Chain A
C-alpha cells in the first residue's frame, strides 16, 4: 500500500517525463524497494517489446502527417513474465534498480548530449568572423539559399511587428545529418534556430519543450517531419516567442 504513490510515478519516470528532482526521488526509492524495482523492470521490458513489435503497425492517415516514419519490421521480443509470479529475492533489488537506473540515465544522457552539441554549434557559429553564410534579413532571400544544400525545405516567419531580426543562415550538421542554422537577433542577443529532418536516432527520441544546456535555454519541437531547436542566452519567454512565430509558419 505504501508503494502506491511510487508506482503511480513509474511510467512517467521510465518515459523521462518527471522533473530531475522527482526522478531522483523515484530512483532512490527503487534502490531500496524490491517490489517497485521488479515492477519497474517489468515495465521496461514491456516498453521495449512494444517499441519493437509496434514497428509493424502503420499509423492511420490522420496520424501519418504528425509522425515521422522509420518502420522496420522486427521480431517481437520474448518477455519473461515467469519472474512476476516468483518472490523476488532481496539480493536482486540492487541489480533491478541498477538496470532501471542505467536505462533512465542512458536516455537522459543521450538527450542532454544532443542539447550540448547544439549549444556548441551555436557558440561556434557566433565565434567565427562569419556566423552566417547567407547574410540577409529577408526571409525570401535566406530560405531559397538553402535549396540544394539540405534535403528538405522550411518556412520562415514574417517578423514585422516583432522584436526579432533575421541575420542570416548557414548549413550545419548534427550527427552527420545536414540541417539549417538560422541566426536571429533580439536586442543584443543572438539566437540560433536549428532545423533538421526528424528521422535520426539522435533527434527522434528527444522530448519536446524547454530545457537548458551549458546555461543556454533551448526549446525544441517536431513539426511536419522536421525537428526544430531554438537556442540562445535569452530568457525562456523570449525563446518561446520566437518558437511560436516559427510554429505559426508551417
Chain B
C-alpha cells in the first residue's frame, strides 16, 4: 500500500522522501545532492509527506487490500 502510494507521488516528492527515509540523509546532504537550498529541502519534504498522507489516508480507512 505504501509502495503503491510512493509510486504515485510526483518524482521530486518520491526522491526526496527516499533520500530522507531510506538513505537516511540529513537535510544538508539532500540539499547538496540535489543542489537545492536547505529551505527547499524542508518545504519539499513537508509537501511530499503531506501528499503521501493524503494518498494513504483513504486507503487505510478502507482497510488492507
Contacts and interface: CB of A to CB of B under 8 A. Distances in A.
A68 interface: yes
Contact of A68 (B20, B23, B56, B61): B23
A11 B45 contact: yes
Interface string A66-106: 11100000001111011001000000000000000000000
Contacts of B52: 46, 50
B22 A46 contact: no
A57 B28 contact: no
Contact of A204 (B1, B21, B24, B56): B24
Interface residues of A, number: 38
A222 B29 CA distance: 8
A214 interface: no
Most chain B CB within 10 A, of A81, A204, A209, is at A81
Contacts of B60: 79, 81-82
Contacts of A53: 2-3, 6
B34 to A, nearest CB: 8
A12 interface: yes
Interface string A194-222: 00000000001111110000000000011
B14 A57 contact: yes
A25 interface: no
B33 A49 contact: no
Contacts of A66: 33
Nearest to A56: B3
30 contacts: A11-B45, A11-B49, A12-B42, A15-B20, A43-B49, A46-B2, A50-B2, A50-B17, A51-B22, A53-B6, A54-B6, A54-B17, A55-B22, A57-B7, A57-B22, A59-B15, A63-B33, A66-B33, A67-B25, A77-B2, A79-B1, A81-B60, A205-B24, A206-B26, A208-B25, A208-B28, A208-B29, A208-B32, A221-B32, A222-B29
Interface of A: 11-12, 15-17, 43, 46-47, 49-57, 59-60, 63, 66-68, 76-79, 81-82, 85, 204-209, 221-222
Given A11-B46, A51-B24, 20 more contacts: A15-B27, A17-B27, A50-B22, A51-B22, A52-B2, A53-B2, A54-B17, A54-B18, A54-B21, A56-B3, A60-B15, A78-B1, A79-B1, A79-B56, A81-B60, A205-B24, A207-B26, A208-B26, A208-B29, A209-B28
Interface of B: 1-3, 6-7, 11, 14-15, 17-29, 32-33, 42, 45-46, 49, 52-53, 56-57, 60-61, 64
